[in-house]
Amino acid sequence: MGRFDGKTVFLTGAGSVSGIGRATALAFAREGARIAAADITTDDLAETVDLLRGEGARAEAFVCDVADAAGVTAAVAAAEASIGPIDILVNNAGIAKKRAFGDLTEAEWRRTIDVNLGGTINGCKAVISGMTARGGGAIVNLSSLMGGWWGWNEHVHYNASKAAIEGLTRGLAMEFGPKGVRVNAVAPGFIWTAQALSREHSVGPDGLKLCEPYIPLRRVGQPDDIAAVIMFLASDEARYVTGQTILADGGITLGDLSPVFASLVQ
């Protein structure tokens, strides 16, 4: 018996080879869910679906750009027609592009807002009337440590998009709680994926290693660490939880400066 036997999950950003999306899709599959795996990529997404089927799961690929509302609606409709009504939506697709505020073009900030915030809105729009008609469902959005806690220089558009996702999560939870739909978010800290490993757009592998002494749990997170929180929020164990953003950061926001103080002790 799996926690998600008989449930259908629509998950965006599922193609990421070493990302949170693929890890979460696999974790759902291992617990009995059917997976509609969506991404803008094709080859990596096809590989994810092969892996999901290798776990014995019913899984299909849906290529779409989450920033395109019509494309997301069509992907959800196709998924519902082929593998069943969506019980759980995970809005995981996201981008983080480094750009100093002074150089940030309108096209660049709009793309980040359109993918991160717009993609989350598009996913919610596509599933929510079906969920309410069937009496309920669960939505989990991906925010970030940079949404409600930290600022990130040269990433203000990312900061803003993730903060907005947390507001969206609270508003939707209010509006759809009475109709049985729970809406929550997960805010990952530093996680060992392509996004954070990018030297061009994030901290890169060396930066991640430099963070570890400041993390009370003394390690950068793995995609599975976030998959576990997403699955908790999607599961019946979280039946009385809605409108929340759960920070999963190994404790880095606690402000552990012990490495700094240790350097003072001779």
Ligand X SMILES: NC(=O)c1ccc[n+]([C@@H]2O[C@H](COP(=O)([O-])OP(=O)(O)OC[C@H]3O[C@@H](n4cnc5c(N)ncnc54)[C@H](O)[C@@H]3O)[C@@H](O)[C@H]2O)c1
- Residues near ligand X (CB under 6 A): 12-13, 15-16, 19-21, 39-41, 65-67, 92-96, 115, 119, 142, 144-145, 188, 190-191, 193-196
Which residue has the CB atom at the shortest distance from ligand X?
94
DSSP 24-39: HHHHHHHTT-EEEEEE
Please give the Cα distance from 150 to 21 (Å, whole number).
Answer: 23
SS3 state of residue 90: strand
* Chain position carrying tokens 């994926």: 193
Q: Which is nearer to ligand X, 30 or 111 (CB)?
A: 111
Cα separation, 195 vs 202, whole angstroms: 7
Residues annotated as catalytic (active site), given as ranges: 158
Minimum gap (Å) between residue 203 Cβ and ligand X: 9
Cβ closest to ligand X, residue 160 vs residue 179:
160
Instruction: Tell the smallest beta-carbon distance from residue 216 to ligand X (Å).
Output: 17
DSSP helix/strand/coil, 41: coil
DSSP structural state of residue 115: I
Report the residue number, 94 or 148, with the smaller CB distance to ligand X: 94
∠ Cα 194 249 11 (to 5°): 55
Taken in order 6, 7, 12, 18, the sign of the CA dihedral is negative
Taking the complex as a whole, the smallest distance from the CB of residue 148 to ligand X amounts, in Å, to 11
Residue among 47 and 132 whose Cβ is closer to ligand X: 47
Integer Cα distance of 204 and 188 in angstroms:
16
Beta bridge partners of 36: 10, 60
Q: How far is the CB of 20 from ligand X (least distance, A)?
A: 4
* For ligand X, the closer CB: 179 or 219: 219
CB of 265 to ligand X, least distance (A): 32
CA dihedral sign of residues 4, 5, 10, 14 = positive
Of 107 and 262, which has the nearer Cβ to ligand X? 107
Task: Write down the least CB distance from residue 142 to ligand X, Å.
Answer: 4
Which ranges of the chain would DSSP assign to H, the alpha helix? Answer: 20-30, 43-54, 69-82, 106-112, 119-133, 145-148, 156-176, 194-197, 204-211, 223-234, 258-262
Q: Report d(CA 99, CA 17) in Å as an integer.
A: 25
